[in-house]
Amino acid sequence: MIRRVFFNISVLASPFFQMSVMFFILGFQSILMGLIAELLVRTYHESQQKPTYRVRAVLGKKSRSR
């Protein structure tokens, strides 16, 4: 904004604008890759009929008396 007002330099020709667009696209791609990976992992575990996490032992559990 300051470049445009005081120096009459186009904002679109600035490397800062180009870098901000590139980082925006990179961030969007990263979010989408994470979502796709989450779907793949869930589909894999459901197709194998395996639990996602397996608890080996519960430590320090107090017994309930009813």
Question: Which pLDDT tens digit goes with each residue over 8-29?
Answer: 777 777 788 889 999 999 999 9
Q: Is the dihedral of CA 13, 17, 21, 27 positive or negative?
A: positive
- pLDDT for position 27: 98
Structure pTM? 0.59
Dist. CA 17–CA 24, nearest whole Å: 11
53, 46 contact by CB (below 8 A): no
For residue 24, the one-letter residue type is F
Give, for 24, the enclosing helix (H) or strand (E).
Answer: helix 15-48
At which residue do the structure tokens 């009929």 appear? 49
- pLDDT for position 66: 53
Dist. CA 1–CA 12, nearest whole Å: 11
